Amino acid sequence: MSFIKRTVAFVFWGIAVSLSNFCYASSEDALFLQNVAKQYMLAQFEDNTNDIKYSVKVGKLDQNRDYGGKCHNYLTAQLQDKQIKKNNIVKITCSRKDNPYTVLIPVNVTVLRPTIIASQNISKGSVITRDLLEKTYINENINTSAAVTNPDLIIGAKSRKDIRAGEQLRQSDFSVVAKGDLVTIEAVSDNLQIKTQGIALEEGKISDVISVRNSKSKKVIQAVVVSANTVRVNF
């Protein structure tokens, strides 16, 4: 009787070990296939030369399913749709004769575009220096056309408000030209550029049109603010 109990116990222990190994293998295979889908999607962007990054998130697979191993040398991946969208399906096929299978894996793609944020708290009236700025990438859906993407445009400008560390910077946050500032006037045509000095008669932020007095001619002109202490007119 005791022998039978020991035998039964041994059999159940063997089954438990077998199930444990099966679950481990299934879990490992699921993670492997998820990684295949992720790497496949990332590979679609490798030739991109723009200053853009991509965040790829892969949906989870059933880790209790028997995927029959990693299917080395028989595995192919392809996008279900013709174009990459925010939400995609990657079709992974194992063409191994003894255990073929197909898995559809959802993959989410987020486009990240560069922007400039404050590297530390910036007080109102502070003159902007490069160490106050940091480049990062954010979801293009929450990026704005008014965001600062070129730090050179605001170096030397003054903050018009208190800015928290990590906050995305916008052109309207800065006065790049103050009333009474000595500014460089760039007169630009198709094939000629002339620079001279002037005095700003009013405050302005990037893209504002302000009045400027030419220091030589004393003539007052209307010019577009293009960067810190620089305005431009076309002729």
Structural domains of the chain ordered from first start: 2-111 (no CATH), 113-175 (3.90.1210.10), 182-234 (2.30.30.760)
Closest CA to 181 of 197, 159, 162, 161: 197
Model confidence over 23-36: pLDDT tens digits?
A: 444 788 889 899 99
- Count other C-beta atoms under 10 Å from residue 166's C-beta: 12
φ, ψ of residue 186 to 5 degrees: the values are -100, 115
Q: What is the pLDDT of residue 16?
A: 34
Confidence of residue 49 (pLDDT cuts 50, 70, 90): low
Quote the CA–CA distance of 147 and 137 in Å, as a whole number: 12
Please report how many Cα atoms fall inside a 13 Å half-sphere around the Cα of residue 42, on the Cβ side.
Answer: 11
Does the structure show a pLDDT above 60 at 221?
yes
The chain-wide mean pLDDT, for the chain, equals 84
Q: How far is the first Cα of the chain from the last one, in angstroms, to the nearest whole number?
A: 107
Residue corresponding to tokens 């906050």 = 167
Confidence of residue 48 (pLDDT cuts 50, 70, 90): low
Does the structure show a pLDDT above 80 at 21?
no
Closest CA to 29 of 78, 58, 59, 64: 64
